[in-house]
Amino acid sequence: MVSSTAENQPVFPSGTYGNGIRVIGKSTKFIVAGCVGISFLTLRNALVLNMVVGALGNAIFNKGLKRVINEARPDGAKKPDPGMPSSHACSLAFLSSYCLLALFTYLPPWWPSIAPPPVLAIVVLAYDYISLLYRYYSGLHTIPQLAVGSLVGVFNAVWWFILCYTKLTPEVDALLGEGGVPILYALGINAFGAIVLYRELRYKLMALLGLKS
């Protein structure tokens, strides 16, 4: 349930529940980016490479869609760019969907029995939901903007995973060989992904290069 003031501005729940939403919401981009980056640098296989490439394509597509739709964020939002569909929701939904599909399809033999895929799926979905609640309560997005962003992310993750499963992953694995993605390439792809996905980092880099934002 969500609550609003008379002016239709969302209000954070009080107590432990509201504090939990704040903690999870503020840390989401760091936790998700960290997990993706560490997974890629550790595994460096076709499955994770395709996830990273798909996530970047999904993010770029959503940013273009936002500019085409050009729907404003809620009144008083701190960010000036359009809000429909939510980039945060789109990226989170893509990564969560791709990872869960991969886990159900390629469950590794070393996976701990204490965390079966169905249980992990519930945890991931709950985490995503709380993260999106933070975006709503913070006044960054409306519920429709978050919902459409999530749908776009899920749709892109499903068709991209099917394409990877049926064609791309075996071919890329054969191309990479046993060594996987070279570590320097993996570092470069991670850096490029961070620049594409995070506005603050992109602006700092442009300022450092003397370019206008």
pLDDT for 158 equals 96
Report residue 3's pLDDT band, with 50, 70 and 90 as the boundaries. very low
Determine if residue 189 is left, alpha or beta; phi over 0 gives left, psi from -120 to 50 gives alpha, anything else beta.
Answer: alpha
pLDDT for 10 equals 75
Lowest mean pLDDT among 27-36, 103-112, 126-135, 179-188: 179-188
pLDDT for 5 equals 42
pLDDT tens readout for residues 92-112: 999 999 999 998 988 878 788
Q: What does the alpha-carbon distance between residue 184 and residue 165 come to, in Å, rounded to a whole number?
A: 26
Report residue 4's pLDDT band, with 50, 70 and 90 as the boundaries. very low
pLDDT for 115 equals 82
> Whole-prediction pTM value?
0.81
Q: Is the pLDDT of residue 157 over 90?
A: yes
Q: Is the pLDDT of residue 2 over 50?
A: no
Mapped to the 3 state alphabet, what secondary structure does the chain carry? CCCECCCCCECCCCHHHHHHHHHHHHHHHHHHHHHHHHHHHHHCCHHHHHHHHHHHHHHHHHHHHHHHHCCCCCCCCCCCCCCCCCHHHHHHHHHHHHHHHHHHHCCCCCCCCCCCHHHHHHHHHHHHHHHHHHHHHCCCCCHHHHHHHHHHHHHHHHHHHHHHHHHHHHHHHHHHCCCCCCHHHHHHHHHHHHHHHCHHHHHHHHHHCCCCC
Are the beta carbons of 145 and 85 closer than 8 angstroms? yes
pLDDT tens readout for residues 56-70: 899 889 989 999 998
